[in-house]
Each structure stands twice: as C-alpha cells, then as structure tokens.
A = this chain, B = another copy of it.
Amino acid sequence: MQYPNNIKKDFTKLSISHSNRGMNLENELNLSNEYYLKKDIALIYKKPTPIGVVDVSYSNHKKTIEKAYFKEPSTLDYNGLYRGKYIEFDAKETLSKTSFPLSNIHVHQTTQIRNVIKHGGIVFLIIRMNNLTYLLTGEDYINYIDTEKRKSISYSYIQNKAYIIKNSYQPQLDYLKIVDEIYFKGE
C-alpha cells in the first residue's frame, strides 16, 4: 500500500516528536535530580525499571543477562528524601490536547498514591501536556478519579488544579520550588 506523501511525513514526525518528548521529560528530571543531589538540596532517584531475569551467562566472573522481560511497577518511578520528608512521584506525558488518559497510571500505582498520602508522604504526578509541565498533587489526582469515574483527566481540571513547573537553566525543571509552595508553605 502506498501512502500519500504528506500523511507518511506527518506520521514520522509524530513518532519522532513523541519519543523525543518522552526522553526529554525523563532527561530533564534526571538532570534536575543530579543538580539537587550535587547542591545537597534533595536525594531523589529514579527507580530502575523492574525486570524478570530469564537467563544469565558468566564469562570472566562477569554476569550478563541473556534474556529478561519488563515487569509492571508497583510504585511510582521516582522517590527520595527532601527537607526531612518522604517524596514520591511519577512523570508522564501525553500528545492529547484535551485530556490525560488514565491508562498511563497502573492500578498498583494508584493504590501506592493513596498509601503514600495515608502514611504522611508527599506524592504527585508531573504531567507534560500542550507543551507545559504540570505538577498535580496526589490528593487532587485521587479526588478526581474518585469523583469523576472517567478514563481520563480533562485538561480543564489539570489547568484548574495543577501547578505549572517552569523550565529554567539549572535545574532544568525546578519542581521542588513548587513542592515548597504546596507542602512547606510558611515554613
């Protein structure tokens, strides 16, 4: 089958843009976390993706994984310690302009968000959408899914409830500034 030239181009552009954007948010967060670590501001790490190892080999006392598969995470991707507090979050982005699909968040992760709130930790989502980066608190996320029972979060809810994280020079994505405003107000 032959695609008209313009459709093919758009499709290619879309996939590249999508993967770039995915890489960018994660990279920006990793660089920001390195900055926080270096400046002794916070200890926040991305958890390694959980895998199930099927097969390993040994040569020169070095263990190499020969086959493995990705497992579903039970927690959010990032966690650590900031100003004496436990902090946990996940970073997601969508190309949709009107709503954030909840299929991005696994059932176990929603349970984890509820649990972190219950046990007194700080928990939130970083959502990149419409070229903006938002911080949505765990509380506002849970409140939405418990009230609305939809398969996605409307963009208007995000615009209304979430905080915009501005891009800066160093750190690239200073989300802890927003964390200060929300969770350490007046301290």
Contact = CB atoms under 8 A, between A and B. Distances in A.
B45 A48 contact: no
Interface in A64-82: 64-70, 74-75, 79-82
A23 to B, nearest CB: 15
A121 B83 CA distance: 9
B84 A43 contact: no
Nearest to A85: B86
A42 interface: yes
Interface string A90-131: 000000000000000000000010011011110000000000
A12 to B, nearest CB: 18
- Which of A49, A68, A75, A118 has the most CB atoms of chain B within a 10 A radius of its CB? A68
A68 B64 contact: yes
Contact of A63 (B42, B63, B70, B84): B70
A54 to B, nearest CB: 9
Interface of A: 37, 40, 42-43, 45, 47-51, 62-70, 74-75, 79-86, 88, 112, 115-116, 118-121
10 contacts: A40-B118, A43-B119, A48-B49, A48-B50, A51-B65, A65-B67, A65-B68, A80-B86, A81-B88, A84-B121
